[in-house]
Homo-oligomer: A and B are copies of this chain.
Amino acid sequence: MTDTLPDAALDQIFRTARTHNAFSGQIDDATLRSLYDLVKLGPTEANACPARFVFVRSREAKERLGPALSEGNFEKTMAAPVTVIVGHDLRFYDKLPLLFPHADAKSWFEGSPDERLQRVALRGSSMQTAYLIVAARALGLDAGPMTGFDNDKVDAAFFPGTAVRSNILVNLGRGDASVLYPRSPRLSFDEAARIE
């Protein structure tokens, strides 16, 4: 247990951070690897780390992604320096002998009903998407997560012949604060929480 972070850090990762809609700049390989090196450390169920990440950066890859995007997400995504496709591997348990070496964790999941595997994979990759958003902000990048896209088209274009299924897209880059909408309301503590 440690001290609370300085206000400037809390501002950067939560308080003044925003979901951006317009991006510029460039992001090099080293930055994407630094980002992954933070994201990978966030906890997931049985350390299963089900998320798989495609950092879409080239023009060619952006053009493969384009047809899957909803109209409202098209322009900003094509212009963003990088768009991360976060998917999850429904056969995540194949990695458990590596990721959870002190027990036969693979047997906890292999052969489970699809509904359970989908739930575990979706839960984990969604948590890892949140780590990605916070880690990007911590590295000085802005993020723009999106669910407005055709999952089947993304899966066919980027994960063919695998058990990986797309979950969320996240644009990364330098956000243009001048085109932000005002922040939307949030639920008050009493609307969303209670202490018992």
Contact = CB atoms under 8 A, between A and B. Distances in A.
A179 interface: no
A13 B12 contact: no
Interface string A82-106: 0000000000000100111110000
A42 B122 CA distance: 18
Interface string A1-45: 111111001101111010100000100010011001110111101
A78 interface: no
B196 A61 contact: yes
A138 B4 contact: yes
B192 A52 contact: yes
A140 interface: yes
B5 A175 contact: no
A137 to B, nearest CB: 8
A65 to B, nearest CB: 9
A85 to B, nearest CB: 9
A73 interface: no
Contact of A168 (B123, B167, B192): B123
Nearest to A84: B193
Interface of A: 1-6, 9-10, 12-15, 17, 19, 25, 29, 32-33, 36-38, 40-43, 45, 47, 49, 51-58, 60-61, 95, 98-102, 119, 122-124, 126-131, 133-135, 138-143, 145, 147, 158, 167-168, 173-175, 181, 184-187, 189, 191-196
Given A10-B138, A54-B194, A123-B147, 12 more contacts: A1-B140, A1-B173, A5-B9, A13-B134, A15-B41, A29-B195, A43-B133, A43-B143, A53-B193, A60-B196, A124-B126, A127-B129
9 contacts: A5-B12, A5-B140, A15-B38, A49-B192, A61-B196, A122-B123, A122-B126, A123-B126, A129-B130
